[in-house]
Amino acid sequence: MNKTILLADDEEDIRDVLSIYLSDMGYSVITAEDGLQALDIFQKEKPAIVLSDIKMPVMDGIELLKQIKKRDPHTEVIMITGHGDMDLAIKSLKLDACDFITKPINDDAFEIALKRACDKIELREQIRVHNENLHRLVQEELHATRRQHRQLFNEAPCYISVQDSELKITDANERFKQDFGDKRGAFCYEIYKHRNEPCLDCPVQKTFDDGLSHQYETVVSPKKNHPYNVLVQTSPIKNEKGEITHVMEMSTNITQVRKLQDQLSSLGLLIGSISHSIKGILTGMDGGLYLLDSGLRTRNYDRIHNGNETVKLMAGRIRKMVLDVLYYAKERQLQLTQINTAEFALDVASAVKTKMKQAGVRFKTDFGSTSQVITIDTAQMRPALINILENAVDACVEDCSKDAHEIIFSVKQNNQSAIFSIKDNGMGMNRETCENMFTLFFSSKGHKGTGLGLFISNRIIEQHGGTIIIESAPTEGSLFTIRIPS
């Protein structure tokens, strides 16, 4: 404790006697003749205890008490008063004086007053130290808890982001930052989907609206990887008033699960779609068998020949359907043959020329040299390119912003690869649609499309070791560049 005492009294004898007494008790004493001088000394020396006479010239003890408490409420002030100044002494207690003693000063009363002042100072110091220790312990526990929560937050095997009411990302875990970057302050739909506006049925917005957790399955696009299928779960974050300030979004990567589901769904869809065709083929085969049977009984060789051709045709169709099923159940080995690139492109173009004409779309072709060849499975590559061309036709038909539409189908070839280009001036696509174009059952046509065609095309081209690059923008048309190794 600070052992300095300020003694303010206008009587020199009292100052001398009390100074000697206090010095013997181990205190360092500073004296002042009046309240104004005492206040000046107090501001310089900051003593822990002040002894002040109530009645002094220039500034009395009551005013000195007020000024000291205003500057440092923790300073303990003991007032010295005469027997006739009891009202002022009581007033000083109301102004938060520690105690008062009367003249002539009694040694025991003086020691008791000093001890009470020292006890208050020591108790206050103990409380301060205790509070500091308690605060330190609380902060250490809080920091440990925060570190543990942050560790759990960062090591969770999913993407976690925290978003505000504007759908801006305010925090994210390490897995999110690795795949999407540290994008705090950016809109979630810009980072996940490369969109310029919030997603329809946004689960985060729903949680802000009703305070409930919501689930949502979607496709997101990390900065370095292929699109991921994710299952999104949201949870509200509330303040002490129970108000939702943020929403936590957890996205679990279910891409492998979806791939398995897609394969099973694709196989089931194919089986269902060909069941009617098989029924028709069987009917045709029954007719062929009937011709064979009746031709054999009547020895009608024309009927036998027709029946045999019908059975062979139906058997070929069944064989192709079975191979299609096997293609989706297990990747088929390519039946590679060399074919003239320009002749192959011309064959593909002829298959869609009628549809182009019916849709009112001008069709241009540029196949260059006819001498180069390409090694492909024509039975698979032909429908793959036709799918993309028909998709271009649909994009033109759906576009109402232009008076005339055209599609340009061209091919160039070098020593490494053949490059097929399909360019249209149709409705175009945003970035999200481009990135999800080859996802199974994804369709930009709504209920008009199944989402199978371009998925199949991409799979066939990848099986040939090729790639598809899409360049597109809304209302600006699209360019599909298909590169196939020669």
**Is 147 among the domain residues?**
no
Count the domains in the chain. Answer: 4
String of DSSP letters for 365-410: EE---SS-EEEE-HHHHHHHHHHHHHHHHHHHHH--S-S--EEEEE
For residue 268, the model assigns a pLDDT of 64
Q: Which of 31, 58, 250 is nearest to 161 (CA)?
A: 250
Asked if residues 358 and 405 have their Cβ atoms less than 8 Å apart, the reply is: no
- Top pLDDT among 64 and 313 is at 64
CB neighbour class for 133 (10 Å; exposed up to 12, middle 13-18, buried from 19): exposed
Q: What percent of the chain has pLDDT over 90?
A: 27
For residue 216, the model assigns a pLDDT of 85
For residue 446, the model assigns a pLDDT of 44
In this predicted structure, the answer to whether residue 320 has a pLDDT above a threshold of 70 is: no
**Is 345 among the domain residues?**
yes
For residue 8, the model assigns a pLDDT of 93
Q: Which of 125, 68, 71 is nearest to 98 (CA)?
A: 68
Rg of the chain over all Cα atoms, to the nearest angstrom: 46
Could you give phi then psi for residue 404, rounded to 5 degrees? -135, 145
234 and 276 inside one domain: no
Neighbours of 125 (CB within 10 A): 13
**Is 148 among the domain residues?**
no
String of DSSP letters for 402-471: -S--EEEEEEEE-SSEEEEEEEE-SS---HHHHHHTTSTT--TTGGG--S-HHHHHHHHHHHTT-EEEEE
Q: What is the CATH number of the domain that holds 66?
A: 3.40.50.2300
The CA distance from 479 to 469, in Å, is 8
- Asked which of 253, 270, 287 is the last residue of a domain, the reply is 253
For residue 448, the model assigns a pLDDT of 41
Domain span holding position 361: 337-485
**Is 319 among the domain residues?**
yes
Site of tokens 């009581």: 90
Q: Which of 455, 344, 441, 437 is nearest to 395 (CA)?
A: 437
pTM: 0.42
- Asked which of 290, 308, 329 is the last residue of a domain, the reply is 329
Q: What is the pLDDT of residues 175-186, one digit of tens each?
A: 888 888 887 888
Strands 99-102 and 76-81: what pairing?
Answer: parallel
Site of tokens 């492998």: 256
Alpha helices in 100-218 (DSSP H): 107-155, 174-180, 188-193, 203-210
Lowest mean pLDDT among 32-36, 158-162, 192-196, 469-473: 192-196
Asked if residues 27 and 4 have their Cβ atoms less than 8 Å apart, the reply is: yes
Model confidence at 452, pLDDT cuts 50, 70, 90, reads low
In this predicted structure, the answer to whether residue 450 has a pLDDT above a threshold of 50 is: no
For residue 85, the model assigns a pLDDT of 76
String of DSSP letters for 246-264: EEEEEEEE-HHHHHHHHHH
**Is 271 among the domain residues?**
yes
DSSP-derived letter for residue 104 is S
**Is 175 among the domain residues?**
yes
Q: What CA–CA distances, in Å, run from 78 to 85, 91, 301?
A: 14, 13, 138
**Mean pLDDT value across the chain:** 84
For residue 484, the model assigns a pLDDT of 92
Model confidence at 416, pLDDT cuts 50, 70, 90, reads confident
- Asked which of 218, 236, 253 is the last residue of a domain, the reply is 253
265 and 247 inside one domain: no
319 and 421 inside one domain: no
19 and 79 inside one domain: yes
Neighbours of 138 (CB within 10 A): 10
In this predicted structure, the answer to whether residue 44 has a pLDDT above a threshold of 90 is: yes
Q: What CA–CA distances, in Å, run from 277 to 17, 23, 272?
A: 123, 117, 10
476 and 422 inside one domain: yes
The CA distance from 434 to 469, in Å, is 9
Model confidence at 369, pLDDT cuts 50, 70, 90, reads low
Q: What percent of the chain has pLDDT over 70?
A: 89
Q: What is the CATH number of the domain that holds 202?
A: 3.30.450.20
Asked if residues 398 and 466 have their Cβ atoms less than 8 Å apart, the reply is: no
In this predicted structure, the answer to whether residue 347 has a pLDDT above a threshold of 70 is: yes
The CA distance from 47 to 484, in Å, is 91
For residue 276, the model assigns a pLDDT of 59
Model confidence at 162, pLDDT cuts 50, 70, 90, reads very high
**H-helix or E-strand spanning residue 171:** strand 169-172
Lowest mean pLDDT among 16-20, 149-153, 154-158, 426-430: 149-153
Neighbours of 330 (CB within 10 A): 9
**Is 25 among the domain residues?**
yes
Q: What is the pLDDT of residues 46-71, one digit of tens each?
A: 999 999 999 898 999 999 999 999 99
Q: Which of 215, 167, 175 is nearest to 195 (CA)?
A: 167
355 and 320 inside one domain: no
309 and 353 inside one domain: no
Q: What is the pLDDT of residues 184-201, one digit of tens each?
A: 888 988 888 888 888 888
The CA distance from 331 to 188, in Å, is 37
Lowest mean pLDDT among 9-23, 276-290, 322-336, 373-387: 322-336
59 and 106 inside one domain: yes
Lowest mean pLDDT among 81-90, 338-347, 408-417, 473-482: 81-90
192 and 73 inside one domain: no
244 and 301 inside one domain: no
Lowest mean pLDDT among 4-13, 266-275, 408-417, 458-467: 266-275
Q: What is the pLDDT of residues 94-151, one digit of tens each?
A: 998 999 888 888 888 888 999 999 999 899 889 989 988 988 888 888 778 777 777 7
Asked if residues 168 and 186 have their Cβ atoms less than 8 Å apart, the reply is: yes
For residue 197, the model assigns a pLDDT of 87
The CA distance from 260 to 278, in Å, is 26
Residue range 316-327: mean pLDDT, rounded: 64
264 and 237 inside one domain: no
Q: What is the CATH number of the domain that holds 461?
A: 3.30.565.10
Determine the straight-line distance between the first and last CA of the chain, rounded to whole angstroms: 93
Lowest mean pLDDT among 48-62, 279-293, 335-349: 279-293
The angle formed by the CA atoms of residues 154, 158 and 161, to the nearest 5 degrees, is 65
**Is 149 among the domain residues?**
no
212 and 167 inside one domain: yes
Token pair of 227 as six digits: 């699109």
For residue 265, the model assigns a pLDDT of 66
Name the maximum alpha-carbon separation found in the chain: 157
Q: What is the pLDDT of residues 248-282, one digit of tens each?
A: 999 888 888 777 776 666 566 556 655 656 777 78
